[in-house]
Each structure stands twice: as C-alpha cells, then as structure tokens.
Structure 1
Amino acid sequence: MPSFSSSHKVNHKADDMFRLVADVEQYPKFVPLCQALQVRGRKELPDGRTVLVADMTVAYKMFKETFTSRVELQPESKTILVEYLDGPFKHLENKWTFKDVDDGRSTVGFYINYEFRSRALGSLMGAMFDKAFRKFSNAFETRADQVYGG
C-alpha cells in the first residue's frame, strides 16, 4: 500500500496551523488536485472534538473522482484524523499533527496511507498522487503565510 509521511518546520504557531488545516472548506483555493470540497455534516462533541463528514473532488487532466471522509478535529492534542468512508479507494487514512517548537514556529506532521480500489486506477493515479502529497506541506505553508503573514 502506498504511503507518504513528512515532518516540516514552519514559521507559524501550532494552533494557527491546526486551524488552517481544519478549515477544509478552503482547500479548493490552494490544495493540489482539490477541485471541490463540501462538508455534509459537522458535529461538535462535548469533549471539544469536532467530527466532519466531507466530500472531496480531486481532478487531474481527464481524471476526476469524489470521495467521502470522516474528519476528526482534536484541538486539545492538535491532531486531525481522516478516515475514508466511500469512493475510489479501497483504503485511505490520513493524520496531521502540530507541535510548537520555539518562538512562533511549529512542526507539522503529515501521514497518509492509501490503496485504490482498482489496480488500473492505482497504476494511472499512483505517481501523480505521490507527487501531489509531496507538494502538500508547501501548499499549506504558503497558505499560512498568506493568512497569518510570513
């Protein structure tokens, strides 16, 4: 199963980066391959967590697919967990972590593990997805610079 992980220091606080990644409705503006994102539902839990169910449409040239995920925002631990529900994947899990390291800087951790339902789709899209995931941290850092200054 393909997977990708990165840990990247950014010039922004962990809380700011958490809020930026948690603001999924903004993804079509700056996330590679993300053409559309619609939140179907949002539930605030008593312990401070928020659970979203969202549809994300990814597009590249002739390829266009929509998949549904459950997104759990955990502000206390500054963690975001994404669990795949429906679409072209057989499996997808994604985790973001945010940790302050020093004066106004933080480390953003990104991990994703996925497998396409169809071997043909995996062959076609695998390299492109891998390339897109490698651009994710830069896309979020650039967005943070625009939103928070940098």
Structure 2
Amino acid sequence: MPGIRESRTVPYSAEQMFDLVADVARYKEFLPWVIATRVRSNNEEEMVADMVVGFKSFRESFTSRVTKRRPDMIDVVYVDGPLRDLDNEWHFTDLPEGGSRIDFSVQFAFKNRVFEALAGQYFDRAFRKMVNAFEERARDLYGSSSSSAQSVA
C-alpha cells in the first residue's frame, strides 16, 4: 500500500497540536481540498466523521473512525468511501527544549489500481501541502514563536 511518513518539529506543545488535529469539524476552514466535514459522534477516545474532498470537478466523500489518546496519538482508520483503504497516524511528543515533535504517516489504497498509480504521482506534493496547512493553522491559532518549525523528513 503506498504511503508517506514525515516528522516535524514545531514551536507548539503536543497538547496544542493534538487539539488542532482532533478538531475535524474545522478542517474545511484551513485544509486544501476539504469541502465539508460532519462529525457523526465524538467523545474523548473516539470520533466518527465524514469528509468531502474535492478538486475541480472531482468530489468524493468518505467516513473515518478516529481513535484519540490525548495528548500523544491520533489514529485514523478508513470506514467507507471510494478508496480500498486509508489509514493515518499522528504522534505528538513534547520536547525538553520546548515545542513538540510530530510524527505523521499515511497509507492509502484505491479500489482502481490505475487511479492509484496516477494519484501516487501527486500524493507526495498533496501530502506536504496538507502538512503545511496544519502548521499555518497552528500559527494562526497559537501565534508564532522565536523557534521556527522545521521538517526532519
């Protein structure tokens, strides 16, 4: 299954980044290609949410189950939609010098292998754009810091 993994150091706490990533209802405000979200159920440990993504005339919706372990981990498992599979994990670790390290991975499989091969060519660029959108959202919500975020992929 194609996938990608990245680590970033950011000047925000693990708790702040956990809250930002767990706030699925607000994704349409800052994530590229997210048109709408609907949270079906949500508690401290688990959420089930629908998301509509689109680009130009392409539009698809899917459902995911989100397992939350505050403030360390968010695990997203694909439930239903146009893909065969989509899983991603977020791990948040506070750093002794301040800020936190975010480890993110995503794996996906399309039902159509030809489409999977085509999408795989653009996935890396789209993934990086999405990760950058989370960082920009953190700056908007929490302000900037003298320490700058950096990629350690």
TM over 0.5: yes
Matching residue's letter, 1:132: A
Instruction: Report deviation, 1:91.
Output: 1.2
| 2:40 is the alignment partner of 1:40 | yes
Instruction: Report deviation, 1:18.
Output: 0.5
2:24 paired residue number: 24
Matching residue's letter, 1:129: F
- Residues 52 and 70 in structure 1, CA contact (< 8 A), matched pair in contact too: yes
Give per-residue Cα distances to partners, 1:13-45, cap 9 Å, x unaligned: 111001110111111111122111111112x3x
Bigger RCO of structures 1 and 2 (CA < 8 A, at least 6 apart):
2
Residues in 2 aligned to 1:83 and 1:2: alpha-carbon distance in whole angstroms: 15
| 2:61 is the alignment partner of 1:60 | no
1:111 paired residue number: 105
Give 1:72's match in structure 2, choosing from 67, 70, 78. Answer: 67
Matching residue's letter, 1:102: P
1:100 paired residue number: 94
Percentage of identical aligned residues = 44
Residues in 1 aligned to 2:98 and 2:33: alpha-carbon distance in whole angstroms: 30
**Tell me, which stretches of 5 or more residues in structure 1 are unaligned?**
none
- Residues 88 and 118 in structure 1, CA contact (< 8 A), matched pair in contact too: no
- Residues 98 and 107 in structure 1, CA contact (< 8 A), matched pair in contact too: yes
Give per-residue Cα distances to partners, 1:47-101, cap 9 Å, x unaligned: xx4211111111111211101100011105x100001000111111110000011
| 2:141 is the alignment partner of 1:141 | no
Matching residue's letter, 1:36: A
Residues in 2 aligned to 1:50 and 1:38: alpha-carbon distance in whole angstroms: 18
TM-score, scaled relative to structure 2: 0.87
Matching residue's letter, 2:50: D
TM-score, scaled relative to structure 1: 0.89
